[in-house]
Amino acid sequence: MTGQALAGPDGKPRCPWGLATEDYVRYHDEEWGRPVHGDDALFERLCLEAFQSGLSWITILRRREGFRRAFAGFRIASVAEFTDADRDRLLADTGIIRNRAKIDASMANARVLAGWAPGELDALIWSYAPDPASRPVPRTLADVPAVTPESAALSKTLKKQGLRFIGPTTAYALMQACGLVDDHLADCVARGAATT
pLDDT tens, position by position, 65-88: 999 999 999 999 999 999 999 999
* Residue 120, pLDDT above cutoff 90: yes
Task: Please report which confidence band the pLDDT of residue 1 belongs to, taking 50, 70 and 90 as the band edges.
Answer: very low
74, 65 contact by CB (below 8 A): no
Say how far apart CA 52 and CA 3 lie, in whole Å.
22
Distances (CA, A) of 121 to 71, 118, 127, 192: 18, 8, 10, 25
Mark whether 65 is an active-site residue: no
> Among the options 17, 24, 27, 172, which is catalytic?
27
> Among the options 17, 32, 57, 128, which is catalytic?
57
* Highest-confidence segment of 19-23, 36-40, 135-139: 36-40
Q: What is the pLDDT of residue 40?
A: 98
- The full set of domain ranges for the chain reads 39-178
Residue 165 amino acid letter: F
Say how far apart CA 144 and CA 155 lie, in whole Å.
19
Q: Identify the residue with better confidence: 1 or 52.
A: 52
* pLDDT > 70 fraction of the chain, expressed in percent and rounded: 97
Q: What is the pLDDT of residue 194?
A: 64
Task: Please report which confidence band the pLDDT of residue 192 belongs to, taking 50, 70 and 90 as the band edges.
Answer: confident
> Among the options 17, 24, 44, 49, which is catalytic?
49
* Residue 137, pLDDT above cutoff 50: yes
* Residue 195, pLDDT above cutoff 70: no
CATH fold of the domain at 39-178:
Endonuclease III; domain 1 (1.10.340)
Question: SS3 string of the chain?
Answer: CCCCCEECCCCCEECHHHHCCHHHHHHHHHCCCCCCCCHHHHHHHHHHHHHHCCCCHHHHHCCHHHHHHHCHHHCHHHHCCCCHHHHHHHHCCCCCCCCHHHHHHHHHHHHHHHCCCCCHHHHHHHCCCCCHHHCCCCCCHHHCCCCCHHHHHHHHHHHHCCCCCCCHHHHHHHHHHCCCCCCCCCCCCCCCCCCC
* Residue 91, pLDDT above cutoff 90: yes
Instruction: List residues forming the annotated binding site for Zn(2+).
Output: 15, 28, 184, 188
- Average pLDDT, whole number, for the chain? 95
Over the range 106-142, which residues count as b (16 or more CB within 10 Å of their CB) and which as e? bbbbbebbbeeeeeebbebbbebbeeeeeeeebebbe
Please give the model's pTM, rounded to 2 decimal places.
0.94
Mark whether 24 is an active-site residue: no
* Residue 180, pLDDT above cutoff 50: yes
Mark whether 128 is an active-site residue: no
Q: Mean of the pLDDT values across residues 180-190?
A: 96
Instruction: List residues forming the annotated binding site.
Output: 15, 28, 184, 188
